[in-house]
Amino acid sequence: MLEVGIIGGAGYTAGELIRLLLNHPKTHINFVYSTSNSGHKVYKIHQDLLGSTEMNFTNTINTNIDVLFLCLGHGNSTAFLQKNTFSENTKIIDLSNDFRLTADKNFDGKKFIYGLPELQKEAIKEAKYIANPGCFATALQLAILPLAAHKLLQNDVHINAVTGATGAGTSLSATTHFTYRDNNFSHYKAFTHQHLEEINQTVKKLQADFNSEINFVPNRGNFSRGIFATTYTEFKGSIKEAIKMYQEYYKDAKFTFISETDIHLKQVVNTNKCFIHLVKHNNKLLITSIIDNLLKGASGQAIQNMNLMCGFEEALGLNLKSNYF
């Protein structure tokens, strides 16, 4: 049984992570660290866990655990690891963006591997330190990985994607209040979203000669969770060739599937799955990809990475969904 710890236990991703780990057959939660909630029951913050655990948040850390999950705000994982030294045997999975880019992957003698299993599963199996991908970055990379792997991204890529309110985290702002989100729709960080860096990095890794633009417009939706992304770019082949290429690329993927029919968010919310649908229009290939931003886009993918790192079956503890509507 793995002893695991969570740093930054009060946010949405931590709540999902706790729920997954409580139901994982190979893990025991050693501690959930939160200085602002120390001494309080975990279910006082994550109210769905009432009846599932009597664990308290703590402000103390066990440095000899097997796996550490960092659920801290961007920039805070680096500061935390500078102040706290863990056992050489402790595997670390960071859910922030601190170590995702090549320029940041080496830190204090630790080499962080980018944790997108559909991109580099074998490297993840051998890793001790993982940089979990961003939620938008996951949905958008899964949409274009096969094209980049076959060196077929020869023109600009255009992406429009919408995420639910949980994508903004638990901290309130002018655009996260119910009165703003309800019956509303808006874009933000158009063409400048921080996840573009890791997306471009992956594309360059697969297709070094890619010199076009990835134009990404992220949107806020008036629903709680999920990402619905539409991506299009020029493609000279037929739709049958595109579908065959995607099916072949993802044939060994545990959670990414190609749908023959139109897809919608309810198919993947509360799962660790990504569904992809392809349509050819004239010379353009439209790729629709959908994920749950808190699961495949964060905590579910973190568990998937843990399973790979520890030699478990990749889908262990991630067969989640019991309802559809």
CA distance 185 to 205: 34
Which residues contact residue 35 at a Cβ distance below 8 angstroms, ignoring those fewer than 6 apart? 59
Coil/strand/helix, residue 60: coil
Structure token digits, residue 154: 């020869």
The reported pLDDT for the residue numbered 182 is: 74
The reported pLDDT for the residue numbered 167 is: 64
The reported pLDDT for the residue numbered 172 is: 53
The reported pLDDT for the residue numbered 138 is: 98
For the stretch 301-321, pLDDT in tens is 999 999 999 999 999 999 987
For the stretch 127-146, pLDDT in tens is 999 999 999 999 999 999 99
- Of 71, 135, 274, 310, catalytic: 135
pLDDT band at 325; cut points 50, 70, 90: low
For the stretch 28-47, pLDDT in tens is 999 999 989 999 999 999 99
The reported pLDDT for the residue numbered 164 is: 85
Query: Pseudo-torsion of CA 55, 59, 62, 65, nearest 10°?
Result: 60
The reported pLDDT for the residue numbered 194 is: 87
pLDDT band at 191; cut points 50, 70, 90: confident
Higher-pLDDT residue of 318 and 220 is 318
- Per-residue CA distances from 36 to 6, 7, 8, 15, 33 (Å): 14, 12, 10, 15, 9
The reported pLDDT for the residue numbered 322 is: 63
Alpha carbon 53 to chain centroid, angstroms: 25
The topology (CATH level 3) of 2-133+296-309 is Rossmann fold (3.40.50)
Strand order of the sheet with strand 157-163?
A: 186-187, 214-220, 157-163, 227-234, 284-291, 274-281, 256-259
310 is catalytic: no
CA distance 238 to 287: 14
Structure token digits, residue 260: 């023959």
CA atoms 18, 37, 128, 292: torsion sign: positive
Same topology between domain 2-133+296-309 and domain 135-293: no
pTM for this predicted structure: 0.95
Q: Does residue 169 surpass a pLDDT of 60?
A: no
For the stretch 46-69, pLDDT in tens is 999 999 999 999 999 999 999 999
Annotated domain spans of the chain: 2-133+296-309, 135-293
CATH hierarchy code of domain 135-293:
3.30.360.10
